[in-house]
Amino acid sequence: MKRTRKPGITRRSTLALMGAGAASLAAPWVARAQAKTIKIGMPTILSGRVAQLGTSSRNAVMLEVEKVNAAGGLAGRQIEMVIRDSKGQPQEAARIARELVNTDGCEMLLDGEASSGSFAVHEVARDLGVLCIHTCSEASSLTADPKQHIPNAFRCVRQGIHDSIVGAGYAAGIAKAKGLKKWATCSPDYAYGRDTTGEFVLYLKKFAPDVEIISESWPKLFQPDYTEVVTKILQAKPQALYSCLWGGDLTSYIDQANIYAMFTQMEVFAVNMADYTALTVVKNLPKGIHSGDRYIKTFPPTPENAAWGDAYKAKYNEYPTNWSWQNATAVMFLNEAVKKANSTDGKKVAEALTGLTIKCPFGADGTVTMRADDHTLVGYAIGWGTTIPQEPYVPDVKAGDWKTIFELEAEWKKSKGYT
């Protein structure tokens, strides 16, 4: 990997001193080298409509970094996070990522961007060869498409295809039970929205062949007014609606759709609803929206998950978000990979990350794995349920089956020409 050379002590000069018999001088030099902080750069969205998600990413990272530093750091090196605001603009995210490495001396990147920015940061990581963990982008192609694969990049995030397989299975059961044959979709017009909606519809029709999509809407990312979208859906008169709008876009959409009582006229499946950032912001949360789990402290229903959610709230006076657990897990992976590699060298850490399984509060069985063949996260808790307007918000989450996810994901990859 390309490394930014900094003035001062290098491994070569340290070895030269030792080789010259300067053992009495070498020990202090080595001690100072090991004590040097390791800078980790993080572009994320800290302003604009989805700033709450970027802030929650930063908060979760710092919560875990404090634990790592208190335990001695990464291979004895204290972590210094360098976090910058991309404003949700892909070009700015790429510019910041390059600057974090080349100017600020960051040796690793946590890419806290939405999919619109992550593909841009990915190209910077490809060019610089720096270790990069994507922590927010759910667009399946980021790691599923072999053309995107680089040995130094990983994705520590739930993935759209996983959500779609579980969500479509859940939705198909309800569609069959209630006779929901006419469906509409409304999702953001960029890679994540297009990909995830297509994958959901693919599996919905596989599990419930009678389903028909009678209306599609693709609002722009961060669109302020959804009046035209809402009225288009109402005029089509679907029996059910799927959406993967998220963050501030989702809450604005729901608030505006409430004016037209849209949620009383059809069954709604909004994969990103069950996240505290949406659940607590919507003015009048409709009862009975179906959603995938994002972050709620009651799923997975384990003491470790509940304790992590409470610790986050105690520190930041609000509950974490979906982006929070993903960013926290990335720091957990880095910590364990450095221990395994016994080094902070990016190439060695990347080799240690590949196929690594760690204990994690967010794992379906208490562990998660960085899958070796495509560098993406698997084994996390995933499920769907129905919202209520007060805590616990989604009282009964039906967990997805990873055996089924793996089988159908493999078929999907083959159909896309990825394998």
* DSSP characters over 253-310: HHHHHHHTTGGGSSEEEETT-EEHHHHTT-TTPPTT-EEEEEEBTTBS-SHHHHHHHH
Q: Tokens 């961007």 — which residue?
A: 113
> Which pLDDT belongs to residue 385?
96
> Which pLDDT belongs to residue 75?
97
Average pLDDT for runs of 10 along the chain of length 419: 39 37 36 71 93 95 98 98 96 98 98 94 98 96 96 96 95 97 96 92 96 97 92 97 92 92 94 89 83 95 97 97 97 98 98 98 98 98 93 94 97 95
Say if CB 320 and CB 56 are below 8 A apart. Answer: yes
A 10 A CB-CB count for 239 gives 18
Whole-number Cα distances in Å, 125 to 13, 121, 128, 131: 28, 6, 5, 7
> Which pLDDT belongs to residue 35?
52
> Which pLDDT belongs to residue 377?
98
> Which pLDDT belongs to residue 19?
36
> Which pLDDT belongs to residue 25?
35
